[in-house]
Amino acid sequence: MSYDYDLFVIGGGSGGIATARRATDYGAKVGLAEFDRLGGTCVNRGCIPKKLMVYASHFPEAFQDAEGFGWSPVESSLDWQKMITGVNQEVERLNGVYDRMLDKANVDFIGGYAKFLDPHTLEIGDRKITADKILIAVGGHPVKPDIPGIEEAIVSDAMFHLETQPKRIAIIGGGYIGVEFACIMHGLGSQVTLIIRRDWILAGFDDDIRLQIQEAMQQHGIRVLTGTEPSKIDKTAEGLQLTTKGKHEETLVVDTVLAATGRKPNLQNMGLENAGVEIDKEAIAVDKYSRTSQEHIYAVGDCTNRINLTPVAIREGRAFADTVFGGQDCTMVYENIPTAVFSTPEGATVGLTEAEARSQYGDAVEVYRARFKSTYFSLAGRDEKTMMKLIVDGNSEIVVGAHMVGAHAAEIIQGVAIAVKMKAKKADFDATVGIHPTVAEEFVTLRNPVISEQVKRQ
């Protein structure tokens, strides 16, 4: 049978675009549909605009720290509208970059919402197209808790379009999105209350990362209500009245409530039932080759709900293209994927947490950890600690996990991740000469498997 395309991609996010471009490298005729702006969540509503706001939030501390180094006090105020305008202009620039990428790769771009009519046919507006292979890369969307008045709350997408800065903001959820926005808004000068069901933020991360970041957030002035849930939101003349239950039963009055309680795949109205694509726990079920229950239909990224990270979606998509169109046998490896939380202070990690390592290796686990105050803060005058930690399988002496909280943690862990991915041993770290004076050198100077409290000179 003849088809309009060798491959048609549904979704113009990072995973979909990377896949389309890779498939055209192998000579495939490729089309792509996207009903929103190109770039997906990362470019439009996530990684990029959020990181720009992270940068903006760090300047007040930098101004204050400078005084300890001899600079005169700085009096400065935030122009919220200028910041938000600049952030969105950069997003628009990147949309154009992705558009040009598709054009250069000879990918046919169709603006519109794609829906399955049958396993090989898609409807996009008033067009019907057919494809031999179809890739679903539609990402996910934020969800809100089901409580009375939740329609008054916003989700993370809206944070980049607020016309004015909320002076008081309550954030529901202790995952990385809630934590990052709590730190961003506090740094920008808002009064922040973070509401979490558990005792600690960032479930799933190493306990030392969770402890270090949460304690620092509270020390900086962010109010964290642990063991607490929202019960209702009421709109009043004074602002939004948020009532909580649990460990902290109280009523808060704020300007904005941000619901950061999770995300779900964007599968609504896709007509997946017309294509016979199976769903598992609200996500598309796939095998190790990203193949769905239909032999010719594949899915990558957040809509499969494996590991929801932009670089993972890109790697999954390229592995699919290399396998199906490049004649290779490529699968995504989900071990030792580095990730970061752009909180203040920053956290980053690769490999196993201490708890995961002990579950897997038992008493053979060796933990090397240091907490210290870097030289920067010795003059800045802030009591800010860095935490660095290596997890080692004592049987093989392989480093199975690395964790850090502190300035530039993500940049440092990105390099350490290479060593962990290559299964470097603790002796390899020990044999590496450190760059002095730096914080990063601590990863190659940790010697004794004990908790170490010290002052590090950077």
Residues annotated catalytic, as ranges: 436
The answer to whether the CB of 298 falls within 8 A of the CB of 329 is no
Give the Cα separation of 261 and 245 in Å (integer). Answer: 16
The answer to whether the CB of 225 falls within 8 A of the CB of 193 is yes
Measured at the CA of 402, the angle between CA 451 and CA 177, to 5 degrees, comes to: 105
The answer to whether the CB of 31 falls within 8 A of the CB of 102 is no
Give the Cα separation of 379 and 385 in Å (integer). Answer: 14
Give the Cα separation of 382 and 346 in Å (integer). Answer: 16
Chain centroid, CA 72 distance in Å: 37
The first and second tokens of residue 101, run together, are: 């990428």
For residue 265, CA distances in Å to 175, 269, 289, 389 come to: 17, 12, 19, 34
Helix axes 207-220, 354-361, angle to 10 degrees: 160
- 345: preceding bond cis by omega (within 30 degrees): yes
Give the Cα separation of 88 and 182 in Å (integer). Answer: 20
HSE toward the beta carbon, residue 140, CA cutoff 13 A = 24
Spell 371-401 as b/e; 16+ CB within 10 A means b.
bbbbebbeebebebbbbbbbbbbeeeebbbb
Residue 287's CB is within 10 A of a number of other CB atoms, namely 10
